[in-house]
Amino acid sequence: MTDTSSLAIVLAAGKGVRMKSDLPKVLHPIAGAPMITHVMDAAAEVGFAETAIVVGPDMGEVEEVAKSHGAAQVFVQSERLGTAHAVLAARPAIEGFQGDLIVLYGDTPLLRADTLKAARDVLGNGADLVVLGFEAEDPTGYGRLITNGEDRLLAIREEKDASDAERAITLCNSGVFAFRGEIVLGLLDRIGNDNAKGEYYLTDAVELARADGRDVVALRCPEDEVLGVNARAELARAEGRLQERLRQAAMAGGATLVAPETVFLARDTALGRDVVIEPNVVMGPGVVVEDGATIRAFSHLEGAHVRAGATVGPFARLRPGADIGPGARVGNYVEVKNALLEEGAKVNHLTYIGDARVGSGANVGAGTITCNYDGFTKHLTDIGAGAFIGSNSALVAPVKIGDGAYIGSGSVISKDVPEDALALTRGPQQLREGWAAKVRARRSRER
């Protein structure tokens, strides 16, 4: 290791059979990102300088996501022979390591950075090994943490091996272990597999460390933080808990969520001060909403930037690359993709704006579409400042509408329009006096 200050090892080899999915378990998303990225975020936030990921065979998708998110190394656990065996798959990262080392799990996306910092602080105060535990509402199935009555950990007892008195303990093992790095291999290499499953369990490190005279500490955290996701119902539960955190953080930061329980945010949603989010709004990844903007009800945003004082919705869709300028308005049933609306521009009704620029103060009428795709390539529509696009117009890209130009309603515009010009392509209106009355009379006779 070139950086010996800290290392996080994230175990991600589980297939998640109970998920009944072709997608590896740790890649199932919550708040718009794979579960494993939340775990890696927490480790990075608390200052773990290196991250090693342990995956199973043929898990290239997990490796790709982990490396794109900053994992220094990825190791393959060729056989699933227990948690200690999984950690040892990362032996090249551990050998010679002298700093803090923590073992995490890719399916525990609710773990907070503050909790990991607390574990590092305990190591910094002299502990050799810290085990994260939680008071379980229902401890059935969990390993119990046997302590000296305070915070010194004596052993971890699996439920099937526990006495009746030990089963009554509600302090349970989360599986998260933090070590002083120089003792890790010395402990793991001595763990055997003399058990019913023939596996090597990380929990055995506790009694080995105690036998060596090491200081082993049990650190408590809330049960929800170490929720492991193994089935779809647990995935939904984790989503709900994380959404509540994100909503609370948004409101604490100065945003108004009119009906918070109906608003869904991504892990990276950024909301400014005095932003108003109305009910039933969904934010996908990559959304920034600046100060004083309003997102009206039933809107969906992803990869979009909404500038100060702009209004979006209701029933609007902003797709990746949408940039809504200061004071601009995007109304009901409007879709915007890869397009810039400059300051004060208005697109209020039933409109598609894709691969375009809408200049400051321009108005785009209802039913207008930018025809940006010719079946092979996307093309740009450029609408100048102060231009007026009449309702039910089709702008066939590439095309430029000059500043202050006027497009007559119902037009199909395929050539550039100079500034301050009028362009229209509809045929002249024809009027036939009495035509409707004659047709009704004839139809009446035919019946």
Residue numbers annotated as active site: 349
Quickly tell me which residue has 């229902």 as its tokens.
138
Instruction: Say if residues 55 and 13 touch (Cβ distance below 8 Å).
Output: yes
The closest alpha carbon to 145, from 219, 240, 40, belongs to 219
Q: What residues pair up with 55 in beta bridges, in sequence order? A: 76
Q: How many CB atoms lie within 10 A of CB 260?
A: 18
Six-digit token pair at 118?
């607390």
Q: Which of 200, 203, 202 is nearest to 81 (CA)?
A: 200
First to last CA, the chain: 92
Nearest alpha carbon to residue 9 among 36, 32, 35, 33: 36
CB-count exposure of residue 224 (10 Å: 0-12, 13-18, 19+): middle
Q: Provide DSSP, 64-84.
A: HHHHHTT-SEEEE-SS---HH
d(CA 351, CA 370): 9
Using left for φ > 0, alpha for ψ between -120 and 50, and beta otherwise, residue 392 falls in left
The residue among 22, 24, 20, 18 whose CA lies nearest residue 53 is: 24
Contact criterion met (CB below 8 Å) for 339 and 321: yes
238 vs 244: CA distance, rounded Å: 10
Torsion-angle region of residue 152: left (phi > 0), alpha (psi -120 to 50) or beta?
beta
Q: How far apart are CA 415 and CA 400, in angstroms?
A: 8
